[in-house]
A and B are shown apart, each in its own frame.
Chain A
Amino acid sequence: MENKSKKLKAKDFITIGIFTAILFAVEFALGMLGYIHPFIVASYVIILPLASGIPMMLFYTKVEKFGMITIVSVLLAIIMFVGGMGYLGAPLIIISGLVADFIAKSGNYKSFKKTVLSFGVFNLWICSNYFPILVTAESYRKDLIDGGFSAEYANNLFAAINVKTIGILVVLCFVFGCIGAVIGKAVVKKHFEKAGIV
């Protein structure tokens, strides 16, 4: 494995595509819950890292080359844009992916600690989707109400996500990212290494 080229090849691009699709499918399924109550929107920082830990940990072991996480984040940014999540968050998504990539690289994509840390950082992309809510708070609120949401929903959303709570959300996101990574690693070990997939 060591002698293999460090550059991404066609096969890796396909793997990246597949795992991005899975990641997004998970995110999409859970994201729909957010319309029930705004507090669920805030709790994405807990739910999403835990749920996406398993596929992402499998992904980390499948490619192990620099650029893999960056490309995932670029694709996520594109999908988020098309999905109407706003353009403000897109650069942040890519930055978190790039930083995560560097951290994982420093551990050669093998070190357990670095991988966990890297996944924690990668999960900050979830927070970047809150970014428009913070920066354009006033107009966002008006848009929500005019756009058909009830005032109740908007009020709750801003009670859950505002400038004061964003710090907590970011920290939670990171912590649960790490926990998700540990769980993901354990699950990958339990199921996939036994089966010889990794």
Chain B
Amino acid sequence: MRLDPRTKLFMVFVVSLIAMMSATTPVLWVIRIIITLIPIVLLILEKKYSSALRFFLAYGIALVLLLFFISENSEGIIASLLIGYCGIVVQFMPALITAWYVIRTTKIGEFMSCMQKMHIPDGIAVSLAVVMRFFPTIKEEYSSINDAMRMRGVMLGGGNVLRMFEFRMIPLLFSCVNIGEELSAAAITRGLGGETKRSSLIELKLGLADYLLMAFLTAATVIFVMYKYFL
């Protein structure tokens, strides 16, 4: 199933909005969980089974722990660590899953064409596209730097936090700057930053699935806000 990037962006918006207003009653929790399940289902439809399962398990376990085993009065070190972990997962997982889904399934061409259709200034669209693409690169670069450091025996910078930071930050910046040079060379040869309006190979069109999903998300938001603030 192919969704329009605009629908995906709308989904990111709605999920973040709902994740931001914390759930306090069972109804709200239900809406929130449904909203979280949508991107997971979409991931399955895109045949990304392993990541869908991973997200599902991580979210499910944290949710169960949080709802049934941790209460307002838990104290002590293990409880507070557990709260920390579950808090992160339950709070940020919905937005994370959605963002991950959008980044993984949206081609950069689609994204740019969508941004153009929504009349977002080029500067923001290009920078945002780069940010989207760059997180996996940073992670990759970082882990190879880490490997290299470990191979040379620089474990945790000899216990010195500052050195540890420096030994990882500087090489990371070096490689990122170089990648940036290559990236801009590649983009400019493809006509980015030209005078004329860019055309796009991909025609964006909203389909039935897009409308259904958007309607559903809007309804979920309205119900959520109503139950939270007016009932």
Contacts and interface: CB of A to CB of B under 8 A. Distances in A.
Interface stretch (A79-87, A120-128, A158-166, A168-176): A79-87
A35 B84 contact: yes
B81 interface: yes
A19 to B, nearest CB: 8
Interface string A63-104: 000010001001100110111111100000000000000000
A83 B87 contact: no
B207 interface: no
Interface in B153-174: 165-166, 169-170, 172-174
A153 interface: yes
Contacts of B20: 84-87
A115 interface: no
Given A35-B85, A149-B87, A18 B95 contact: no
B22 A75 contact: no
Given A13-B122, A14-B126, A22-B173, A148 B188 contact: no
Q: Which bracket fits the contact residues of A?
A: 35 or more
B180 A35 contact: no
B160 to A, nearest CB: 15
B52 interface: no
Nearest to A72: B127
A92 to B, nearest CB: 16
Interface of B: 12-13, 16, 19-24, 66-67, 70, 72-75, 79-81, 83-88, 90-92, 95, 99, 122-124, 126-131, 134-135, 138, 165-166, 169-170, 172-174, 176-177, 179-180, 183-184, 187-188, 192-193
28 contacts: A13-B123, A13-B126, A13-B130, A13-B193, A14-B183, A17-B126, A17-B131, A18-B176, A20-B127, A21-B130, A22-B134, A35-B83, A35-B84, A55-B173, A58-B177, A62-B177, A79-B131, A82-B16, A82-B99, A83-B16, A84-B19, A143-B21, A148-B86, A150-B79, A151-B73, A187-B166, A191-B170, A192-B173
